Amino acid sequence: MIAGLFFSEIGNKLLIHLIRFDPDIETLQWNLNISAQWKDEEFKKAHVFLCI
């Protein structure tokens, strides 16, 4: 459990640093801007987007 917490924290920080190098970050943000108002349809669209 402690190992999972450690790697979760390291993973989050690593993603924050690596995201700066993604040339298509705007598309990712647009398609995955999850909110409390999302319904099943939005989650299905996000799933399709990620599976491309």
Structure token digits, residue 45: 């669209």
**Whole-number average pLDDT of the chain:** 87
- What pLDDT is stored for residue 4 in this prediction? 74
Q: For residue 32, what are the CA distances in angstroms to 3, 4, 5, 23, 38?
A: 28, 24, 24, 16, 11
What length is written for the chain? Answer: 52
Cβ atoms of residues 28 and 22 within 8 Å? yes
Secondary-structure percent of the chain, ordered helix, strand, coil, rounded to 5:
75, 0, 25
- What pLDDT is stored for residue 23 in this prediction? 94
Question: What's the pTM value of the predicted model, to 2 decimals?
Answer: 0.59
- What pLDDT is stored for residue 1 in this prediction? 60
